[in-house]
Structure 1
Amino acid sequence: MVSSRGGKYGFVYKSRQRTYKALRRKGLTKSKAARISNAGLTHVQRSRMARKAARTRKTRGGR
């Protein structure tokens, strides 16, 4: 079970723990997986980040 306790036990929002586990299966470290899964708690926040990333890639000539 992923910790939602905080402090030295780490912290991942309850609604994002499936994402955290998927990232861990991909081989990310606990801290990186937690950072990514905790970013954008709501769907709106994640969508906004995705649009910003797409804009960044577009201006830099990436994918």
Structure 2
Amino acid sequence: MVSDKGGRAGFVYKTRQSVYRALRRKGMPKSRAARISNAGLFRPGRVRMARKGARTRQRRGR
């Protein structure tokens, strides 16, 4: 589990640890997984990510 201590230990909010671990299981680098999971701490961030993902999938024809 990534620390929520910050600094050299890295930082991911406690409530977003499960998201971080899921992204890591998919093979994502630590820094990128942390950035994505922290971005979704509040609802507007999650909505923005969902819309971006939908646009990407639509553009790729999925």
Same fold at TM > 0.5: yes
The number of residue pairs the alignment matches comes to 57
> Could you say which structure has the larger radius of gyration?
1
Aligned pairs for 1:1-63 within 5 A: 1-47=1-47, 49=48, 50-51=50-51, 53=52, 54=54, 57=55, 62=59, 63=61
Structure 1 consecutive aligned stretches of length 4 or more whose deviation exceeds 4 Å: none
Identity of matched residues, %: 61
Q: Deviations over 1:2-28 (max 9, x none)?
A: 200100100000000000000000001
Any stretches of 5+ residues in structure 1 without a counterpart?
A: none
SS of 2:32's equivalent? helix
